[in-house]
Structures are given as structure tokens and as C-alpha cells.
Chains A and B, each alone.
Chain A
Amino acid sequence: MQKNGPIALLFHTLVVAFVLAPLVVICLVAFTPENTLSIPTTSFSLRWFREIFRHPDFVASFVNSLWLATLAATLSVAISVPAALAIDRYEFPGRDALNALFLSPLIIPHLVLGVAFLRLFALIGATGSFGWLVACHVVVITPYVLRLVMASFTGLDRSAEQAAMTLGASHWTVFRRVTAPMILPGITGGWLLAFINSFDELTMSIFVTSPQTVTLPVRMYMYATESIDPMMAAVSALMIALTAAAMLVLDRAFGLDKILVGQK
């Protein structure tokens, strides 16, 4: 009934081009056979992808980031589910304050969190510890997980649980057989979103990583401030591919718009 006019469609095309331009350019340049940043015109080459493996520091950072994101996302879910349960289902003093505490990293710039963590680590001698880095990431990504899990608790039909109870199920059985399956999409979506956020995090990590715990984004940032060569494009293209894959999974399973619309 309401259609977009030609001007609207032209505007839309320009916006889409603007949004995609840097990503497309990266993916093209990654395949260049040349030594300079150029778009391949005659032939495609994988040499810059092979080049990545001659940089063990990049490979190590990639593996490091993968572990970091996996651990942080899992821990974050482990904290968020009971916390969401407490906040959603119970009335207790300090409930609002607790909620605000869990969501506070959203309104604190990552830059500030980074310097704050750095100060703490310097005082307790935790600089360079992978475990503490994981903890920092948990703090940064938990608000996203908590919001998604809370949303699935709020959207849950309580009468289904009551029905299970009237049918003779114990509290634990109700949680396992009724509640958990219903909030599972929220949990999985939260985990994936947390994983991506942790994997991509730069601003906070750059303050608290040490040479042994450098994450991939930090490594890339350091590398890019020194020199720009097509290998950066190859690494970036891999990250885009990885993100796109995760995005497709998220979208298929839950609808990306639903997950991201809750994100700040």
C-alpha cells in the first residue's frame, strides 16, 4: 500500500553502498596478488592468506581470542541465568540496585573500564594474567547476555510452569523440563552475542592485555598503526567471514533484529 518513491530508493541504495563499501573493499583487496593495497583486476591470489600463517603472533592471538571469547561467554551465561532468575522472580531489598550494577558496563565507556581494570591489576599484580582478562570480558559482555535472558524470562508464560507443577513435577523438574527449554533460545542467543562482542573487543582490552595475552583485535590495531599491507586485509576478510557466519546462525535461529534491537 505504501511504497518507497524513486528518491527514497536512491537514498537507500547510497546508504547500503556506504555501509558495505569498506567491507567489500577489504574482501577484494585480501585476494590481491600485488604487494600493495590494490583491488585485484587480473587474477586472484591467496598469498596474503598464506602470509598470515608466517606470522605466528597473529595465529597465537587468534587462538587466544577464541579461547577468551568462549570462556567469557560461557562464564557470562553461568552468571546471568541465576541473576536474571533472581531479579525477575524475587522481590528483595537492593533488587533495582543489583540490576543497575549488572547493566552498568553499558553506560561506562570501554575506555574508562580499560583504565580502571589496568589500575586494579597494577595494584594486585594481575597484569598479564589470562584469567583476569577473562573476568574483564565477562564484565563487559554480561549486560548483553543478562538482557536477552531477562527478556526470555519476562516473555515466558508462567502458567506453563504452574501447569507442570499441578501435574506433579518438582521444582527442579519444572525448571529442567519446562523453564529451561523455553529460555534456551535467549541463552543461546546471549552466548553468541557475548562471544562476538568479546571476540571483537578492542578499547578495553588494549589497556589490560600483555604481550602473552594480546587478542586478535589488539594485535590488528597495533599492526595497522605501524604498517598497512594486504595481510591486514586478509585477516580482516577472515574476521568478516567469521562474523557473517555467526550472524547467519543468529539470524536463522532467533532473528538478528530481535537480538540487536535490544543491544546498545
Chain B
Amino acid sequence: MSFLTLEKLSKVYGDFAAARDIDLNVAKGEFVSLLGPSGCGKTTTLQMIAGLIEPTTGTIMLDGSDITREKPNRRGLGIVFQSYALFPHMTVAQNVAFGLEMRKIAKAERDERVKAMLALVHLAAFAERYPRQLSGGQRQRVAIARALVIQPPVLLLDEPLSNLDAKLREEMQFELRRIQQRVGTTTIMVTHDQAEALSISDRVVVMEQGRMTQVDAPYKLYENPATPFISTFVGKMNRLEGIWRKGAAEVAGIALPAEAGGLAEGAAIAVSIRPEKLVLKTPGQGRIDGTIANRFFLGGSWLFTVETAAGAILVSAPNDGEEPAREGAKVALDWAPASLRIEPLAQGAAA
């Protein structure tokens, strides 16, 4: 049963469609991310749900009632803004209490709930501070507490972690997921960071140029990207173009063993494989030979660029504690034929 439903939602400015025909069903308690590059319409969509932008067409249903034209202050949704939009002249506690005050909740209960919420986001000791006295991560948590304390049916997060540095961002991802699961609030998050979307969402909605192009669970999105754009935007991907010949993919005259059905002999195809699905072997032992052009140490793994007759290919290998092959070393690449994805290339769509 869908809790929040977007139906044919569009926002058009003149002849530019910021968002087109957005159809989305979000179940109660679900964590959905809207993922895409800037200008893809994800923020427009979120602001339509929030009521800050009026949709040109389409409807928004929340728990069975139409809220498309409802004013933002009547929707009761919790919103965490990209800039946090904390009230700088109010203390942390006053910020969090604001929504309860608007709901005319008695002082005693208000204090109680603010206290509980600040404890949940680990800010109990900071209640009397002003926003400017807090670090970025702390402000972020105030913003979340302020949005959650009103017990909104839906929590909307607009690029909530983009203002934090890398280490803190990772910590806050866990924190965000922990809080969301604890409270059980249906959550929609807008982000341009694919790692963030994949790690904390139940489902990810990928948007390109105002349209939704794929809605899937993170691992499915990763394994079966629906468009070439998604395959490169989500994770790293080796993508080569070739033709289908004699039951194998042929790239630059080299036959790469693969599994695919229903392809005509000589059809133009795109071949793609994730770097971690490739294995480095000694020369002659694999399916294609090459030379290591570059290697990067990433801590948990190594990332190699291998020059082969078919082109440059990225290979990721786990760090087993030993130093792997150096730049210039001859290697061979091996893979399970099933992990090589073959798609027919649409005429003229060669990217």
C-alpha cells in the first residue's frame, strides 16, 4: 500500500520542463533517494512534495488525501534543507521547539519532546547553544531533530550531507539511517552522491533531465543499470563498444567471451563490466593480455588501469596485504562470462 504517491507530476517553466511525469509510490517507513546530477529535477521534485513549488500538472497523495495544492505550513512534512536553514537567533532547543510551538503544544510536553529528540541525535548537551557555535555535523543533526520532532508523516532531506567533509559525511550516513530506522519515518532524500544514495536507501530513483529513468533497490541499480548514463554515474564501469560475432563480443578485433541471447550476428553492441568483476592474472592465463598503465592504492583495494588491445580497462583488486603488480607489468584479465553485460547499441546512440 502506497503511503506517498506522486502521479504524473511535472513542473514546466516556459518551454523548459524542470521535472516531467514523475510517478512514484513510496511505502510507509521506506527510505527513498532521488539521485542525479545537478539540474536533473530532483530538487524540484522534492520542493513540489514540500509545497515550496507548485506543480504545473499532476497530483501528490499523502496517506490517501490529495495535498497537491496544500500550503507548506499545512502539510506537516519535516524538511531538512541543504543549508539547514536553522534559525540563527534561536538556541538549539528553541529551534527544535519551534514546530511544536506552532502546534500549540503545552510547554511541559514541548520540553519533554525536545529533550527526547535532542537525546536521539546526541545533542542533549548543546540545547542552549546557538547554531553558529556548532560544527557542521551538529547543525545537521539539529536540522534533523527540528524536522522530526513534529512527528511528520514524511521526512524530506535536500542534499543533507553535501556541506560536510568526506569523513563526517560517512559518519552522518550511518547516523541518518540509524535515526530514520529508530523513528520509522517515511523518508525521501535528494542527493547527487551515488555512494550516499546506495548506502542508506531502500530504493533509489535515478533522474536524468527531468525524468525518472530507473527506480530500484540499490544493489539492483548497481548490477542492472537501465541506461548507459546510470551505469557510469552509479559506481565505476568499463564500457566498450563492439559487435556481436559468433556468440562472443568482439571489440577492436578481440573476441571477449560473454553470454547473451537474441542478438543478430554483426549487431552493434555495448559491452560493460564492473572493475571488481575483473581478476588480474599472469600473462597468458586470462582472456585478454595487457599492461598496467597506472595503479592507485585506495586502502581497501587497488585500482589499476590496464592497457589492452580492446582499450583501457579499469580493474579493482582487493588489498590482500601484498604489493601487487607494478606499472608497466604485463598481466592478463579474466572474468566470468556472465558478468559481462551486453546491450544492443541503438542506431546513432553511440555515446
Q: Which residues of A contact B52 (CB under 8 A)?
A: 1
- Please name the residue on chain A nearest to B52 by beta carbon: A1
**Cβ proximity bits B37-77 to A, threshold 8 Å, 1 near / 0 not:** 00000000001000011000000000000000000000000
Residues of B contacting A1 in the complex (Cβ-Cβ under 8 angstroms): 47, 52-53
Majority SS at the chain A contact face: loop
Cα separation A1 to B53 with both chains bound (whole Å): 6
CA A1 to CA B47, docked complex, whole Å: 10
CB distance from A44 to the nearest CB of B (A): 42
CA distance A1 to B44 in the complex (A): 11
Residues of A within 8 A of B47 (CB): 1
Q: How many residues of B contact A (CB 8 A)?
A: 3
Chain A residue nearest in CB terms to B53: A1
How many whole Å from B134's CB to the nearest CB in chain A?
Answer: 27
Looking at the assembled complex, report how far the CB atom of A3 sits from the nearest CB atom of chain B, in whole angstroms.
11
Beta-carbon contacts under 8 Å, A110-130 to B:
none
A1 to B52 CA separation, bound complex (whole angstroms): 7
Shortest Cβ distance from B54 into A: residue: A1
For this complex, 3 residue pairs linking A to B, each with C-beta atoms less than 8 Å apart, are: A1-B47, A1-B52, A1-B53
**A1 CA to B51 CA in the complex, in Å?**
10
Q: Which residues A1-47 have CB closer than 8 A to chain B? A: 1
Cα of A254 to Cα of B47 in the assembled complex, Å: 35
Shortest A5–chain B CB gap in Å is 14
CB B43 to nearest CB in A, in angstroms, measures: 11
Within 8 A of A (CB), among B13-50: 47
**B53 / chain A contacts, CB cutoff of 8 Å:** 1
Q: Which residue of A lies closest to B47 (CB)?
A: A1
How far does the alpha carbon of A1 sit from the alpha carbon of B72 in the complex, in Å?
12
- Closest Cβ of chain A to B41, distance in Å, is 15
Docked pose: A128 CA to B47 CA in angstroms: 68
Q: How far is the CB of A169 from chain B (nearest CB, A)?
A: 36
Question: What is the 8 Å Cβ interface bit string for chain B, positions 167-198, against chain A (1 contact, 0 not)?
Answer: 00000000000000000000000000000000
- Cα-based distance from A121 to B254 in the complex (angstroms): 98
Q: How far is the CB of A192 from chain B (nearest CB, A)?
A: 35
A190 to B47 alpha-carbon distance, docked (Å): 43
Task: Give Cα A1 to B54, complex, Å.
Answer: 9
Least Cβ–Cβ distance between B48 and chain A, in angstroms: 11
Instruction: Report Cα–Cα, A80/B230, bound state, in Å.
Output: 58
Chain A to chain B: the 3 pairs with minimum beta-carbon distance, closest first:
A1-B52, A1-B53, A1-B47
| Whole-angstrom CA separation of A240 from B52 in the bound complex | 43
Closest CB in chain A relative to B50 CB, distance in Å: 11
Distance of A1 Cα from B11 Cα, bound (Å): 13
Please measure, in the bound complex, the distance between the C-alpha atom of A1 and the C-alpha atom of B13, giving whole angstroms.
12
What's the nearest-Cβ distance from chain A to residue B85, in Å? 13
Taking the closest CB of chain B, its distance from the CB of A56, in whole angstroms, is 60
Distance in angstroms from B44 CB to nearest chain A CB is: 11
Return B11 CB to nearest CB of chain A, in Å.
11
CB distance from B10 to the nearest CB of A (A): 17
Name the residue of chain B whose CB is nearest to the CB of A2. Answer: B52
A1 to B18, CA, bound (A): 14
Q: Please measure, in the bound complex, the distance between the C-alpha atom of A11 and the C-alpha atom of B175, giving whole angstroms.
A: 48
> Roughly how many angstroms separate A229 CA and B46 CA in the complex, as a whole number?
63
Bound form: Cα–Cα A107–B42 in Å: 52
A 75-87 to B, binary, CB cutoff 8 A, 1 in contact else 0: 0000000000000
